[in-house]
Structure 1
């Protein structure tokens, strides 16, 4: 067992031998059970020196377990004073007590208290994790300790693959991991057969011989007899204290290193590893936990993709109705005009407006009605004279043939473009292009057919129209050279108000007075913007509900996990875990659930959206909804994981260890 004699301070020879290490002065510990008060310890005064081998014996209810908890800084005395190496433990905060346990004590439990989902070596490493020991160093030390204790070939085995004696040896190796000054063994042979019990006690004797202070809590007189100093308890009081168990050279280990700044990243890394192990340990429960987050995230991604696609589709339809158009009508503001009652707009006005910034097209229009005749059929319809920019301004091209060009306007060509309704009535068997149609007795050549539009929002048939060059219309059809209206299409709707002001200024300068009216599509644009806001609020609300439901699921499962792993939490606290370590561990588990659920949910949402697209639904996949949904999943995991993590961090280590 010479290998168990770990690193010693260089100045050991200068330190006083057998100094008082653990000192209890009139320590009492009482518990409340309803109106009754139970006194587990009653004015116990006791001094244990460095290098002693002490057994504390007593029957059930004698107070020996309570005394062990107080000695190991797992519990606080109700009255009296307890000092560890001269340091008053009664005034220490929870994390300071954790540091004291981590640096001074190594616990050997009756039921081993090994973590079931990790290997023997990883169980041994636990105290070193909270001491901030780098992974390579702690792995090397764990393997060395296990090899020294005869378990070199069992380092990768889990507890359920080890015998009781082997598990207790792993527990002893864990107690020695941080090279503690004191080894506290609680009923170390209580769950072992006689042979294994002798081996464990022999190990404890060797630890004492190496200079460590060893305290054994037992009810068995034979086990107590192994210790040179024997203390007996009854009813919370010391009834006897016999013998002396001072080692020749007491063991004074180097101070345990704290994680410090470097330890933050290491602690986070260990928390992530622990979280993944915990999630793997119960795959079904993990799947249920993830399901709520996955559904919430997938719903957000899918709904926003479909909503964005539908929104774009609606906006494109609204734009076709003229959300980027300005209409100039004749007549002073505030007056109502009908037909050709007012003649204030000219083709020159249209040409002047076409030169303004942000104007994509400026189209003069003169409207009238006429009777068409072709193939012996008469048909009355609307006639519109316009220029070659009409398809650009109205976002309406020809489906067959061509539209008239600037040269047709300059040469006063008698050409016409028919709407589908007119063409079907005059040429029911097709073949309209290239034929002639008489408009008010004037023959026009049909050069194209307009795209079908169907009925407008007011019920008007938008295909019941004939377009002719406006110059030809003035000469052959309308008789007077003035316009019914001007239609202006802007390039950027964001500055449509400024463009409208420029149009007004330009026309006033040309006319010398405001004898016209400009109407925009502000109400239509407001409707579009309102629709966008409604979509956003609706989808955001549904997404929030979905994620909240998923978050509640995470919190419920995490609370169950905390309840099931209470003993594990107690073991981690006993081996030196701070409250922040426990908080970090369970918060990280919730964070991992949020991240995994977010990733899977995004993939599921994209897949669902693509499936909807194959069924004919309009979608628009953009990275922003996926990023937003993932971030929300992460935040949801953190927010709803806080309460379970806080509950775990505030547990009493004594009660946690006593949990079945």
Structure 2
């Protein structure tokens, strides 16, 4: 029969040394420790304060690394394992019972017990049921939802024992488990630990008390970092096998299903526990996001308002005016454009209508009232050009122009001033003492962008105006309405070429309303971007505030980080936890900021400011807040993830 290969011991230490920095030279605490512990043993490591027993426990539990020597767990070289593999060992093989309990103060008893299972990927319902069952078995069935500060010392230590068993706890490492307890509670805790040894768990007691050590099957005594005695009092209480397949599973580095919701839950709990600090952190993000929403809403609203006003004037228009550099007539009108030019321009391709115009001021009198108003001599196509409807009567037609008819169409303001209580149709109005019969009233238009009243006007036929009112034939402008906006630039060039051919020189200027609209839109976009940039700066300042607060949070919660690492949290779990907190607080600030920005915008709208909200802007501002939390929370989260478990645990 082939000889069987002897199975490796569960724990094997060979010449283990541990040194700590100590001024000019390192201080060696452990001096060549060698020992083996078999699966199922109940061992007490005993020594006075400063003997190195706690340091040895940290090495055994993979909370720290040896400076020299070899540590094998189930035949595997622990010193060769990386951070992820060590976390797996702590999570799957070890359970810690500390003298100071090391419970998370903001979590309930069952949540503290369930902590290792979170990092093991156990489903929430399953780990909740297991945690409650463990606590019930330990006599804490009525204390499941109590926080640590609501439990006695003995109860807290039993919570710590339950946590050590959550993932199985092959090896229970108990550091002075009765040191902070009264004698009765201490006896109860030791009864639980020895009961675990009877069930086959490997129990390692770290103590200075011989009465506690007497519960063990084997006592290893340390003095000044060396083993001075290794005594067995009784055989192992149960037979347990050393695990043979000790291979941590390959990890993708991505969060496991359920990790993110748990991280969010823990983040909200932590933020609620420090609500004042959370509120101050939120404030910076809220102001930043709210400023972005309001500033861009103001910018977009102003742009929409300007574009709408220009649109009312017509964006498919080309306004041709005499060049001011040309010689003027005696009455100040540039002698360039004539009505015949309008007729020629109307024949160009893509020109729907060409409307000539002469304008000036006059005194209008009717029914014993007189007002100063604007008079425009135009062609009958003017209402079509401006899309301006009448509220009463008709507009003059081509026959009226051909026979120099003394007819007029008045604006709403003129009607209100001259005919407040009388139907103006058929009445006569004197313009500079020349009678014109009112045949129509234009609908109300309101003020222009520059504040002029568009309704304070009287329209007369062009022919009548040139002959009877203005006494000259030169036009102040010709306005072209184009059919195809895509060809407006080509139409503009054709109009200039035609007038150059007719006049022998370029003596006009063309105002392209579509180009004006584009120019104003670009200007408004620039102003909107400027406003958005100013708001983004405040959001950036809020992000810096998040980073500062998270750094403070990490500093205050170093002990909690140590607890999480001792219960099996990977570095990425700690990184993920604090990143989640930063993102959650920033996202909350983003939501409140968006709502606050909308509220401020609506208030400004009540006071007449043009406001245009954009769902895209609000969503982008919220996402920016979340990303800022991610970016500015990364450095504090990385600092937390890189903490040494032992140093973190010792930070109370």
Q: TM-score, normalised by structure 2?
A: 0.86
* Cα deviation digits, residues 474-517 of structure 1 (max 9, x gap): 676678877553112458877642442354577789x6988774
Larger mean Cα displacement after TM superposition, 174-183 or 147-156 = 147-156
C-alpha deviation, 1:106, in angstroms? 0.8
Q: Residue 161 of structure 1 aligns with which residue? A: 150
C-alpha deviation, 1:432, in angstroms? 6.5
Change beyond 3 A, Cα 1:278–1:411: farther
Q: Residue 559 of structure 2 aligns with which residue? A: 567
Q: Residue 638 of structure 1 aligns with which residue? A: 630
Change beyond 3 A, Cα 1:410–1:23: farther
Q: Residue 620 of structure 2 aligns with which residue? A: 628
CA contact (8 A) 2:289 2:539 kept: yes
Q: Residue 43 of structure 1 aligns with which residue? A: 32
**C-alpha distance in structure 1 between counterparts of 2:512 and 2:262, whole Å:** 61
Larger mean Cα displacement after TM superposition, 496-505 or 531-540 = 496-505
- 1:237-636 matches, cutoff 5 A: 237-243=226-232, 245-250=235-240, 264-317=256-309, 325-329=317-321, 339=333, 341-342=335-336, 345-349=340-344, 351-352=346-347, 356=350, 362-366=354-358, 383-391=375-383, 393-394=385-386, 403-404=395-396, 408-409=400-401, 413-418=405-410, 434-438=426-430, 443-447=435-439, 466-473=458-465, 484-489=476-481, 496-501=488-493, 503-504=495-496, 517-521=508-512, 524-525=516-517, 528-636=520-628
CA contact (8 A) 1:130 1:259 kept: no
**C-alpha distance in structure 2 between counterparts of 1:154 and 1:256, whole Å:** 37
**C-alpha distance in structure 2 between counterparts of 1:380 and 1:123, whole Å:** 87
Q: Which among 640, 644, 652 is matched to residue 652 of structure 1?
A: 644
What SS does the corresponding residue of 2:544 show, helix, strand or coil? helix
Change beyond 3 A, Cα 1:476–1:125: same
Q: Residue 66 of structure 2 aligns with which residue? A: 77
What SS does the corresponding residue of 1:264 show, helix, strand or coil? coil
**C-alpha distance in structure 2 between counterparts of 1:243 and 1:623, whole Å:** 74
C-alpha deviation, 1:111, in angstroms? 1.1
CA contact (8 A) 1:132 1:257 kept: no
**C-alpha distance in structure 1 between counterparts of 2:285 and 2:372, whole Å:** 64
Change beyond 3 A, Cα 1:559–1:503: same
What SS does the corresponding residue of 2:21 show, helix, strand or coil? strand
Change beyond 3 A, Cα 1:368–1:18: closer
Change beyond 3 A, Cα 1:304–1:495: farther
Query: Structure 2 unaligned runs (5+)?
Result: none
* Cα deviation digits, residues 505-532 of structure 1 (max 9, x gap): 77789x6988774512478546524531
- 1:70-109 matches, cutoff 5 A: 70-109=59-98
CA contact (8 A) 1:452 1:463 kept: yes
Change beyond 3 A, Cα 1:81–1:367: same
**C-alpha distance in structure 2 between counterparts of 1:648 and 1:133, whole Å:** 24
CA contact (8 A) 2:46 2:219 kept: yes
- 1:26-37 matches, cutoff 5 A: 26-37=15-26
Q: Does 1:189 align with 2:183?
A: no
**C-alpha distance in structure 1 between counterparts of 2:453 and 2:143, whole Å:** 87
Q: Residue 236 of structure 1 aligns with which residue? A: 225
C-alpha deviation, 1:94, in angstroms? 1.3
**C-alpha distance in structure 2 between counterparts of 1:368 and 1:291, whole Å:** 59
**C-alpha distance in structure 2 between counterparts of 1:529 and 1:535, whole Å:** 10
- 1:207-218 matches, cutoff 5 A: 207-218=196-207
* Cα deviation digits, residues 332-359 of structure 1 (max 9, x gap): x996665474466444335435x727x6
Q: Which among 54, 57, 60 is matched to residue 43 of structure 2?
A: 54
Larger mean Cα displacement after TM superposition, 238-247 or 513-522 = 513-522
Q: CA RMSD in A?
A: 3.8
**C-alpha distance in structure 2 between counterparts of 1:378 and 1:65, whole Å:** 106
Q: Which among 161, 169, 172 is matched to residue 161 of structure 2?
A: 172
CA contact (8 A) 1:120 1:155 kept: yes
CA contact (8 A) 1:115 1:159 kept: yes
Query: Structure 1 unaligned runs (5+)?
Result: 1-13
CA contact (8 A) 2:414 2:456 kept: yes
Change beyond 3 A, Cα 1:89–1:408: farther
**C-alpha distance in structure 1 between counterparts of 2:371 and 2:305, whole Å:** 36
CA contact (8 A) 1:131 1:256 kept: no
